[in-house]
Amino acid sequence: MYKKPTRRTLILAILALAAIVMTSTAYFISRAYRPAALKDRMVGYLSDVLESEVTLDSLEGSFFPRVVLHGGGLVVRDKGRTDVPPLLTIEHFEIRASLRALMRRPRHVAEVRLQGLRVQIPPGDDHADTDDHDNRSSDIDDPLHEVVVDRFEAPDTVLTIIPRKALKPPKVFTIHHLVMDSVGRGHSIPYIAVLTNPIPKGEIETSGTFGPWNVAHPASTHVTGGYTFANADLNTIDGLSGILSSTGKFEGPLNRIKVEGTTQTPQFQVDAGGQAVPLTTTFSATVDGSDGDTLLDRVDAKFLDTTLVAKGAVIGLQGVPGRRVEVDMSNLHGRVEDLLKLAIDSPKPLLKGAVQLDAHLVIPPEKAKVLDKMMLRGVFGLSKATFTDAGVQAKITGLSRHGQGKSSDDPMSDVMSNLRGRFVLDRATVSFSELSFGVPGATVQLAGNYKIRSQEMDFHGHLIMDATLSEAAGGGIKSFFLKAVDPFFKKDGKGTVLPIKITGSRKDPKFGLELFKKKN
């Protein structure tokens, strides 16, 4: 019966290579040194320990004054599986030890150094059955229990993690610098590693401890450490830009690693035509090290004077490259001018004021810019907002004046605006429903769409004023003639209800009445 290989392959291979030094030394002392016989002995021993098919191209060594073995072309493959990549390949290896260290217990091997290491980690099984081999961890006759590698190095290692879910693409990491000290079975292993993260692309430096290896349940093996993620280029995520740096710490079993950290992106920018803003985050997450799926337990993000809090998940889907992002977010403290700065490249924001936001964000794993594939739905509200353009604010003040039926001579204080609405952002188009804009004496209720790329708008709704049309005219002959039509525009106790439309572009909006709009 086919037996699924476990993630212990690499650790066992390191220890088995080291054990070869010990057994080869005894073999050399008892018999004449013959490289061909020693090579066969190593292949056989590795095949038994790893329960795999092992081939080795070359092997040479010497035993005085120090024990040194080196070879090349080592391939570890699951038995009979030539249709899949090998579990482990090593272009060249070198093992060094002293005779004295090999004679005492535990047996110490000074150094194992690998060149061209390629590791394919298959998916683990948390409920794998233990067999006689696995139970040897408590057997004092197991030679691997006597072996400790004082220093292990494997520069430029390529690590491929095969996910548990079928058809999901594997995760590939290039580890430029990998060092582990005191590698042995039954205890934790200190490590140092430097690797390239693919997306966003950047260098990760990490150090900590790994193990002891849980033979029965590999995914329960414990890992701890800290990391530094420097100069991560967000341009590798289509639709974003900026250079991100992050520091943090992690701890837990391989399939539930708890991560806490912070990020800084001094010039974060979305490709919607907005401006770059400084973005910082503090986060806690749970990572499944077997397939990279991440649960965002909490993320606190701050840019300018706005703070957002979010939680959600970043997961892979079967047969689909990339990952799906799904996040619920709301703001603890927000300013509309900050949000507008992200979306619009303008020397000054359209308006200022406090904003409240509750939204659900989904970014599917598609090959498209973030803005063109993201889906965002939610509710928002602005309170006590003012327009920064004096001309626009004057018109808003005029709307309030007419809505209250005041004449041009009546004094008016600064008019604050309130805005509420529900929205759905899909494929760079925002659809608004229940959009309500209010000032003292007047309310505008609208529904419609705004296309972010072209900045085109198409809104329809009603202007509702407390005053009648004749009162809104501010007196004079116009008010006299409008009294005759006042009754036609009264509704639900309001002085005036006018059907209106707003079309055109953000820079050139067109306002009009829809008195003769056909009803559906």
pLDDT tens for 324-356 read 889 999 987 888 888 888 877 777 777 788 889
Cα 442 from Cα 433, distance rounded (Å): 19
Indicate the pLDDT class of residue 505, thresholds 50, 70 and 90: confident
Please state the pTM of the whole predicted model: 0.73
pLDDT in tens, 7-65: 445 565 665 565 555 555 554 544 445 667 778 878 887 888 777 888 999 988 787 78
Q: How many domains does one find in the chain?
A: 2
Q: Is residue 300 part of a domain?
A: no
Token digits of residue 234: 């967000």
Confidence check: pLDDT of 121 > 80: no
Task: Determine, yes or no, domain membership for 254.
Answer: no
Q: Using an 8 Å Cβ cutoff, are 427 and 435 in contact?
A: no
Which residues face 323 on adjacent strands? 316
On whether residue 32 sits in a domain, the answer given is yes
Last residue of a domain, one of 144, 166, 182: 182
User: Residue type for 192, please?
Assistant: I
What residue numbers bound the domain in which 161 lies? 1-182
- The closest of 69, 71, 148, 141 to 107, measured between CA atoms, is 148
Q: What angle is formed at CA 450 by the lines to CA 447 and CA 455, rounded to 5 degrees?
A: 150
d(CA 173, CA 398): 62
Q: 147, 163, 182: which is the final residue of a domain?
A: 182
pLDDT digits (tens, 9 = 90+) for 363-418: 888 888 888 888 999 998 888 888 777 777 787 788 788 778 887 777 777 677 78
Q: Is the pLDDT of residue 2 over 50?
A: no
What is the model's pLDDT at position 135? 41
Q: Of 165, 182, 199, which residue constitutes the final position of a domain?
A: 182
